[in-house]
Amino acid sequence: MSRSRTYNRRNIFIVAVVVMLVAAALTVRLGYLMIFKSEDYAARAKALHERERAIKAKRGNIYDANGILLATNKPVCTISVIHAQITDPERVIQVLSKELGLSEERVRKRVEKVSSIERIKSNVDKEIADRIREYDLDGVMVDEDYKRYYPYDSLASKVLGFTGSDNQGVIGLEVKYDKYLNGIDGRILTLTTAYGVEIKNAAEDRIEPQAGNDLHLSLDINIQKYAEQAALKVREQKNAKSVKLIVMNPQNGEIYAMVNVPEFNLNDPYTLLDEIADDYEGQTLSPNKLNELLNGMWRNSCISDTYEPGSAFKIITAAAALEANLVKLTDSFFCPGYKKVEDRIIRCHKKGGHGSQNFIDGIKNSCNPVFMEIGARLGPEKTYYYYDKFGLFDKTGIDLPGEAGSIMHKLEDIKPVELATMSFGQSFQITPLQLLRAVSAIINGGKLITPHFGVSIRSADGSYIKELDYPVIENAISKESSETMKELLEAVVYDGTGKRAYLPGFRIGGKTATSEKLPRGNGKYISSFVGFAPADDPQVLAIVLIDEPTGIYYGGAIAAPVIGELFDNILPYLGIEERYTEEEMKQFNAGSIEVPDFVGKSRDEVKKLMKIYEFGEAYTIGEGDIVIEQFPLPGEKVNKKSDIILYYGGQNETRSSG
């Protein structure tokens, strides 16, 4: 430089130094970002790149007592599209809408949506998914998945329950044992670009899914099937609204069967049963209404609904009175057909009264005045003391969700009238299962068991086994009272109101009941029977409830035979041998006859027919002159010397228990 080189040079040097200084400052800043901020920012960047893809865990199976699969998984597929990878959207739309049976607009909307991944349809059958895979379309993903599957469709539907789309239990055992059945989902951590496209071979981490554990039940598919058949049959015969049937082991509370007909299809739980849907034909159901109907269809009435137990509850009153030493079998009572309690006249079901009788006859006849009398002897406090011992104030603790509790009077509200009606099972409500539990304690020597289905939880490979325990409360009743009660209840079946449940060769105990539904006088009944066998060492206890039967509604007439028939099927199956007494051999070995049709016959005609057919005794009920109904029904096979009940046309009977 020609002029004053020094200051020019110095100035250039200053510029250069300024540049160096700024560069140094920026390097410091860079170092700060890359060393001190590195962890924080890098973690956030990583969260941005990583996509977590869940690998669904297999849900555990549910097995019955014989190891038969009741609930399992079926492989299904989920079809999704990745917008950024689609090369031929028109073809994708065309193929997917054709194969999946979806409308073209619906598929188009999903395909054309700019998102990283869009689910088109889940729960697609494997064959369809395989077909879609064969088209080899860019941007179409087929993910394998599992769907819950119930091999027996509607069997024990309200007990097993089903799962939702997220594989979580919605009702029943599927809910209760969700935490065991649900596996732990696995994960694949993959890196994706900003457009959601997975980078190949960049899977950073893979956590294998852990399958859920299997649930083993006490429920026995054969007993359940028998019970369901019996329930369906009586429902059809009596055109009843519904029939409930529970079969349980009274010694340990294991439930063998729980039937609520009509049952629904577990593989299609969101479709209303035809019989429900028919009531709403031609109407468009609002989502709320549909939901309500579905919930009604799924409802397990055996545990969720309460009812007035009626005469079957006399078992509890009798047991309490015996236990409290307030009654002896030989005590004598007199039934004039009613009992006056304060200013009220409460009738017995037998208009003319049972006359003079001892306690044994009282229970065999199911005589209301007898029980009102011993109820009065107990008084409210003792009554409630025993109710409590029999677990009637508590839920049973069954391993199913949605159990209802009992509805009882307040102790201080119990006046003589309430006490009298309570003694034969009216003016309060319990669930059928609560009754069954109380009866269990009475006939098993005093153990208040917890009814249950779940027996054990096992992993598929057998490496994990958890036996399920349930609480048992001892000494609900003394052994002696228990023995007495068993004998009394056996007598009810042998030659009392429960004789239609009698099976030659087996010792069966039980109690009938006919409960009038509230409000009184609407002519709607629940007819029921509680029975157990063998009477001296109960191995099986069952209850049937026929809700709103048409025609004859007496528990002794229509409910008892259901249990009789069921026991005929399942007692041999359970390994309980027939043991005929000599008397029985004589009486019943004579062969069987087909029941003729008595309906429409006059009393004279009946007399003639009775001479031809070898019936035991013909009970006649009603005052008319023409037979309007009979039991057993025409065409049924019965043993010779069986009794027959004939109902003559005319007036209705007054309210009664049966």
Partner 1 sequence: MSRTAAGVKSKKLHSYYDYSLLFIILFLVCFGLVMIYSTSSYNAQRIYGDAMHFLSRQALFTGAGILIMLFVSRIDYRIYIRNLPVIRLKPITLLYLLCLFLQIYVLIFGVEINGSKRWIDMGPLGRFQPSELTKIAVILFTAYIVNLAPRRLDKFRGFLRVVIFIAPLLGLIVVENFSTALIVGVIMVAICFVASKKKGYFIISALIFVGIAALFIILFPYRSERIRIWMNVETEPKGYQILQGLYAIASGGFFGKGLGQSMQKLGFIPESHNDMIFSVICEELGLFGAIALILLFLLLIWRIFIIAINSVDLFGGLVATGVLAHIATQVLINIAVVTNSIPSTGIPLPFISYGGSSVMVILFEMGIVLSISNQIKGEK
Residues annotated as catalytic (active site), given as ranges: 311
Q: What are phi and psi of 599, to 5 degrees?
A: -60, 130
Out of 117, 136, 159, 191, name the contact with partner 1 by CB under 8 A. Answer: 191
Task: State yes or no: residue 611 binds partner 1 (CB under 8 A).
Answer: no
Contact 601, 608 (CB under 8 A): no
CA distance 260 to 274: 16
Task: State yes or no: residue 27 binds partner 1 (CB under 8 A).
Answer: yes
Nearest to 631 by CA among 643, 617, 648, 614: 643
Candidates 6-14, 287-295, 460-468, 634-642 — which segment interacts with partner 1 by CB under 8 A? Answer: 6-14
Residue type, 294: L
Task: State yes or no: residue 114 binds partner 1 (CB under 8 A).
Answer: no
* Strand spans (E) along 131-285: 140-149, 186-191, 205-207, 214-217, 242-248, 255-261
- Cβ of residue 135: shortest distance to partner 1, in angstroms? 22
| Helix intervals (H) in 67-125 | 89-100, 104-112
Task: State yes or no: residue 586 binds partner 1 (CB under 8 A).
Answer: no
Candidates 27-35, 411-419, 467-475, 502-510 — which segment interacts with partner 1 by CB under 8 A? Answer: 27-35
Beta bridge partners of 75: 146
Q: Which two tokens stand for residue 476?
A: 């609900």
- Cβ of residue 64: shortest distance to partner 1, in angstroms? 53
Q: What are phi and psi of 655, to 5 degrees?
A: -55, 140
Candidates 192-200, 343-351, 527-535, 583-591 — which segment interacts with partner 1 by CB under 8 A? Answer: 192-200
92 CB-side CA count, 13 A = 24
Per-residue contact string for residues 197-236; x = within reach of partner 1 by CB under 8 A: --x-------------------------------------
User: What does R_g of the chain's alpha carbons equal in angstroms?
Assistant: 36
Out of 105, 193, 268, 540, name the contact with partner 1 by CB under 8 A. Answer: 193
CA distance 565 to 502: 9
Task: State yes or no: residue 33 binds partner 1 (CB under 8 A).
Answer: yes
- Residue 524 is classified by DSSP as -
Residue type, 387: Y
Task: State yes or no: residue 88 binds partner 1 (CB under 8 A).
Answer: no
Site size toward partner 1 (CB under 8 A) is: 42
Q: Which residue has the tokens 């009664």?
A: 656
Provide the pairing of β-strand 69-81 with 140-149. antiparallel
When the beta carbons of 1 and 612 are compared against partner 1, the nearer one is: 1
Task: State yes or no: residue 1 binds partner 1 (CB under 8 A).
Answer: yes
Task: State yes or no: residue 34 binds partner 1 (CB under 8 A).
Answer: yes
Candidates 44-52, 179-187, 481-489, 600-608 — which segment interacts with partner 1 by CB under 8 A? Answer: 44-52
Task: State yes or no: residue 16 binds partner 1 (CB under 8 A).
Answer: yes
- Cβ of residue 281: shortest distance to partner 1, in angstroms? 54
When the beta carbons of 83 and 349 are compared against partner 1, the nearer one is: 83
Task: State yes or no: residue 356 binds partner 1 (CB under 8 A).
Answer: no
Task: State yes or no: residue 15 binds partner 1 (CB under 8 A).
Answer: yes
Secondary structure of 526-545 as H, E, C letters: EEEEEEEECCCCCCEEEEEE
Residues near partner 1, by CB under 8 A: 1-5, 7-9, 11-16, 19-20, 22-23, 26-27, 29-31, 33-35, 37-38, 40-42, 44-46, 48-49, 84, 191, 193-195, 199
